[in-house]
Amino acid sequence: MLFSLLRRFLKLHLFRITTRPLIEQRHVTAAMRLRTVDEAELLPYCSDAAIQLPISHVRAAFARGNRCAVAFDGTRLVGYEWFAHGPTPHIDGVWVAFDGNARYGYKQFVRLQYRGQRIAAALSTHADNWYRRIGCTHAISLIDLGNGASWRSERRIGAHTAGYAGYIHLFGRFIAFGTPGATRLKLRFYSPRRERPNSEALRHSSYE
């Protein structure tokens, strides 16, 4: 309750940072197909408002070199997850930067009626082999502290809590902070309007 109030009134954003080694793909049921898709394949699905894929987001993500793993039940898109290995937009004009040897997973979605089938875990590991081939050694993700389901899914595939990071908008100022675990992963939030992603270290907090 306290965290919700802080987020609502002070615009405090606080996240658990998880990390794990890149591992082999986890499989789902035989009826479900997982694969990475390109921009041309994904754009036709943007017309379905239920899957929360704006055309502008899709085009911008592929332009940055991001990859997208998608789960299909027949021809129906039932889930997806995006992956990046460079600075990535978060929300509200805030970006996240991280260790150059890391693969960052973000914007995961599974349709409500398909949840509980371990599709999220399968999506999270689907692109691991490709990222290992280009030199990445570990996966990282950010999970809102109130999102227990995503944290349980990450633990099932071997992830652990590396630290915490967040930011706050206060009286027109953008203030980013994080624990030593965030610093070890070189993970930090930044505002492109105010600074470059490597301009200064994360401010440390004392709750790790």
205 in a domain, yes or no? no
11 in a domain, yes or no? yes
143 in a domain, yes or no? yes
208 in a domain, yes or no? no
90 in a domain, yes or no? yes
CB contact at 8 A, 141 and 105: yes
Report the pLDDT value the prediction gives residue 148, as an integer from 0 to 100. 87
Domain harbouring 142, CATH code? 3.40.630.30
198 in a domain, yes or no? no
What residues make up the domain containing 149?
2-190
Report the pLDDT value the prediction gives residue 200, as an integer from 0 to 100. 38
Say what the alpha-carbon torsion angle 102, 68, 154, 116 is, to the nearest 10 degrees. Answer: 180
CB contact at 8 A, 207 and 190: no
Report the pLDDT value the prediction gives residue 52, as an integer from 0 to 100. 94
200 in a domain, yes or no? no
Report the pLDDT value the prediction gives residue 162, as an integer from 0 to 100. 97
88 in a domain, yes or no? yes
Give the contacts of 30 (CB within 8 A, at least 6 positions apart).
none
Q: Which two tokens stand for residue 121?
A: 């875990």
Report the pLDDT value the prediction gives residue 201, as an integer from 0 to 100. 36
Report d(CA 91, CA 74) in Å as an integer: 32
As for how many domains the chain has, the answer is: 1
Report the pLDDT value the prediction gives residue 24, as an integer from 0 to 100. 73
CB contact at 8 A, 166 and 176: yes
Report d(CA 95, CA 90) in Å as an integer: 5
According to DSSP, the residues that pair with 91 across neighbouring strands are none
Report d(CA 55, CA 61) in Å as an integer: 10
Q: What is the pLDDT along the chain (208 residues), one digit of tens a residue?
A: 555 555 665 678 999 999 999 987 666 666 789 999 999 999 999 999 999 999 999 999 999 999 999 999 999 999 999 999 999 999 888 999 999 999 999 999 999 999 888 898 899 999 999 999 999 999 999 999 888 888 988 998 999 999 999 999 877 788 999 999 999 999 999 988 765 544 333 333 322 2
Report the pLDDT value the prediction gives residue 27, as an integer from 0 to 100. 66
The DSSP code sequence of 44-108 is GGGG-GGG---HHHHHHHHHTT-EEEEEEETTEEEEEEEEESS-EE-STT-EEE--TTEEEEEEE
